[in-house]
Structure 1
Amino acid sequence: MADPDFSFDRDALFYALELMGVGTQAIEGAFSLPTEMPEMGRGARATLDFLAPSVLGRASALGDATALAHMDPPTPWITWATTLWNASVNQNLLHPATAPAARDIEHTVIDWLSPFFGMSGGHMVPGSTIANLTALWAARECAGVKEVAYGEAAHLSVGKAAHILGLTTRPLPCGPSGALLPEAVPDDLRQTALVLTAGTTSTGAVDDLLLCGRAAWTHIDAAWAGPLRLSQKHAHLLSCIEHADSIAVSAHKWLFQPKESAFVLFRNAARAHDAISFGGAYLAAPNVGVLGSHGATAVPLLATLLAWGRNGTAARIEALMAVASELASLISVHDHLELLVPPQTGVVVWRPKRIDLTEQLFAAMPSGSCSLTNLNGERWMRNVAANPNFEINKFAAAMDEAMRALRIT
């Protein structure tokens, strides 16, 4: 006798969709988890009612008209549908027998994207933290590196990966924008993996990619700005990226995918994959990279790229670059605000000229509209152009209102 909780239930699934359609902030209700796992279950539908006020109602509204705080975008509805499909079939890409189509889909997506970066291939990972670890693992195995050099503004995952791999670290100074100072890069990099960042977390700065090839291995952490390579208008911002040995890109940032979706690419993917592969008696194919069992995260990415094409994907990124430019212009001409530097990859960093009011202004802005970052011991406000639903007029009105309340204007 079939278990009904493992069968297709149209009414229950439509009900779940209806709850999603209400909007995150519109779902109300008290929510308090039991301190212990219940002996008797509530039932599936009652559980949806119980969880919705928290899972949906208390979630950050990343697609709101004034949301521009983080590198976490809202996701297109086609990814909701395909993520549901993924959950329903639960494919495991570790085994060809348990994911015949999903493995082909991942290979296809990687084959589509690799040429934009001048790479020969790679594989999907849950995020750029794992992508950076994987790339530096390959650098250790393929190039015999013993240390990792990187700008002080690099993501913390770079130092973390070096620690895991037993490699020494050499942080290097950065300029005011957050980009690595080229003159600070040592001459002797024969045993070094040089990590360059394309889109630092705090400021969106891009390191000088002309440094590619100076070290035994060059890895580029392009978690944020990598998708600019799909834009004919902005691809030049990452010129020379094709000379790297490996590249990390987070699809759950500027490719608008659900967590957890990213990929690591290699100039010589066959060599790198061979160096980081393991076999096992129960495996029909070698296990490549850090992950063992893993799901079909390439499916929503494939669906998005099929639905939008390169042009549609690039158009959304270009629109967000324009938003960042417009916001920066608004700030730079304001008598009472200062802009750190013109945005390079969609990240705008600014604050009131009365710097003692920075945190008060941040608190007065709508929730999710801004974030804070520390630069050289000082607080700055930060906006990240990751939300295609953003409306700059509403943001500007909210900013004016907050500044009037603080008597900044």
Structure 2
Amino acid sequence: MPTVGWIREGDLDAFYEGTERVPDPAPHKARTFACPFCPSILTTQLDLHDHVYARHRVERPVIMLPGGEPTGNDVIRAPLHESDVMLTNTSFARVSVDGAMSRQVSPKELPEILAKTKHAEVKLELVNDVQRNAVPVTSKYKISFRVADLDALRSVEKAFVEVLVSAAISRESIGRFLADKRAQGAGNEYASGLANYCLGILIKERPDGERLTTPLSRYREHYGSALEILKDFDRPLAHLIASIIRFSMNDFERGRERTGYWELDLTNELLVDPSSENLPPSQGHSKRRPVCPVDHGTGRMLELASHLVGQPRWSPILDDECRALARSDVLDASDHQKAFAIWAAVAWRLGATQSALEPLSQIAEVYPFSRWAREYLEKEPM
């Protein structure tokens, strides 16, 4: 029977047919996961994740300076020592000073470089490159070094006393202080902090002759700016003003640090713990030299505390005196709160628990006084 040529089997077809083999049925081979960093083979993806985390994790490199890790743009105002610089997870660093080309340095070299820097803008990149086949982890910082020597700081303080302590504070006197050649140069940062503090006093007190249009609440911004600068200077004047600012803003986290200003140390200790047995003893009436201005609201709170603590007993007259001050229309809100707290603390110390109820109820929900005011209210039977 005739056949069609195109369906006729050829030699090549016969060869392929003879060599084909059907694989024997068997279980599929389990899937595995190879570590990209070492020869390890893991059976599950979770095992791979755990393996990489345990054996090949690359931590972020960190530099620690006094006060903690620098922010993205930090300012160094106090001299650094090599021991102040701590590095972790760092293979090497790249440093650029005042816009110059960056250079690579080792972790051992970097502390010495930073300790020697006084006035410069430094761009710092830390690199952790310990893991082969992994992208290095980096941390970047911009640090402004504005470190003044002791003579420059003393010159600023002399100008401050002559211009802003010995006379009334005004916008003109603040400008004159900043323009003084002793407040220029290396000490300019210190002078800026002192000027911000005085500007905050001016805005808070609002003397008639200044015709201020800045809202009263803005004084807190200037106090905060001054504190941010002055806290970095290891000078008695800077420590004192920083403590006054914290007191004014009802920040008592460091309230037990002594400044030598008796009224301030007394009131701080009283408001941190009204039952404290460590109130600093009175310094009598020895004449003191003024070293910095204090805003009238803060000064009035210090006067109230020192006056009340010196009383041997409590009376309704003291209630009236405290009530009038605590509810005064011219005090700032933070001073109102301190007046109530001083009233409550001293009345409680003198055993006048009923007199303490009124001010305690006013500050029971006001931080930081609520930490002890609530406890005292709970002790007193209603």
Q: TM tier, shorter chain?
A: under 0.3
What TM-score comes out, normalization by structure 1 length?
Answer: 0.22
Please identify which structure carries the higher helix content: 2
Higher relative contact order (CA 8 A, sep 6+): 1
What TM-score comes out, normalization by structure 2 length?
Answer: 0.23
